[in-house]
Amino acid sequence: MNETLEQQNPLLRERGHHRFFLGSPNDRNIEINPQNNVSDYQLGGQKEMSGGKSSLYRFHGEQSSQGAMPLLSLPREHRSQDAERRTPDYAENDEMGSTSYKILEPGMLDRPLLPFQEWNIDFSEITVGTRVGIGFFGEVFRGIWNGTDVAVKVFLEQDLTPENMEDFYNEISIHSRLRHPNVILFLGACTKPPRLSMVTEYMEMGSLYYLIHLSGQKKKLSWRRRLKMLHDICRGLMCIHRMKIVHRDLKSANCLLNKHWTVKICDFGLSRITTDTPMKDSSSAGTPEWMAPELIRNEPFTEKCDIFSFGVIIWELCTLSRPWDGIQPERVVYAVANEGSLLDIPEGPLGQLIADCWAEPHQRPSCEDILTRLLDCECALC
């Protein structure tokens, strides 16, 4: 899903990571609206750039002027007005439902919306609780459905334009075909505006990003536990890639933990079905601190862009630090895309694995190769 289940109160006080929508390299407009970003943006004040560079990063060909930075744009004009959106009203309003919105029916698309009609959930069956995430495409609430704790993602765009229908269909179509212990479980969808939403399992411990950077529980992250988390993510990503899917927004904020410390991948709002040749998406997007250079540059991409992002997650669990901490996202975009800048790679076997994940796309390892090397690292701890 397009939101990560975060612990709400700390997120209201801490900085998050921006999700950018990238246009062509020649675009000269920048649209950065953190209020529209979900799991990856925590509400509240932003940290100011520290001025000095952290020793965790290395830059090549340092530029003193931000005027040379590439400028970004949103992929669709209707998204430029997202800042004015309001929280959906969950009170019963039959008049609004009948006059302001159309009902999304399978016939409105050229393919079925849900593979099984049983996955169509009536919103009245859900007891909606507190909001646990907010972002570009929607909001996530904790809820109860059929006596079970669930996460309810309510889409912000309830007017069924062709673009909105495509976004809604794309996420459901991709997420609903994935069944794996390390991928968040899709339970169903509500397909009637103004409550267009998706229902998944609820993950009690929130995101890996929260656990590492905000929870104050770093001392609980032994090396054995960190390797177990990396195994979980790698196995989930292996399933995704075997289903011919590219995630495109893999990051610690999109890796959720349940009460058993099992990690599962979520947020398939930017995912795409792969083809036999590298793909190019004019509306490519992601979170700069985790994005592969080819995605930032809007170049053709394969599933290996997820391997680069996974390398950043390995780096996070090795260093227990935030990637590019104190560096503005715009600066990260320029440094990674145009200067070849990378985070400083730690020593040891995991450091070499990180370096391999950050190689040129065709040189990056597969999930199978990474899993084997992670198992070797675990054996070394015994």
Yes or no: say if 369 and 307 are a contact pair by the CB < 8 Å rule: no
Whole-number Å distance between alpha carbons of 161 and 240: 29
Whole-number Å distance between alpha carbons of 187 and 60: 47
Q: Is 53 annotated as a binding residue?
A: no
Cross-strand pairs, 58: 342
- Is 249 labeled as catalytic in the residue annotation? yes
Going by C-alpha positions, the residue among 166, 129, 91, 173 that lies closest to residue 5 is: 129
Q: How far, in whole angstroms, is CA 129 from its chain's centroid?
A: 23
DSSP labels, 193-246: TTS-EEEEE--TTEEHHHHHHTSS-GGG--HHHHHHHHHHHHHHHHHHHHTTEE
DSSP labels, 59-86: -SS--S-GGGS-----SSGGGGGGGG--
Yes or no: say if 297 and 70 are a contact pair by the CB < 8 Å rule: no
Which one from 40, 167, 249, 267 is the annotated catalytic residue? 249
Whole-number Å distance between alpha carbons of 233 and 310: 8
Neighbours of 105 (CB within 10 A): 11
Whole-number Å distance between alpha carbons of 207 and 220: 15
Residue with token string 């459905």: 145
Going by C-alpha positions, the residue among 336, 285, 345, 292 that lies closest to residue 316 is: 345
Phi-psi region of 248 (alpha: psi -120 to 50; beta: other; left: phi over 0): left
Report the binding-site residues for ATP. Answer: 153
Report the binding-site residues. Answer: 153
**Which residues does the annotation mark as catalytic?**
249
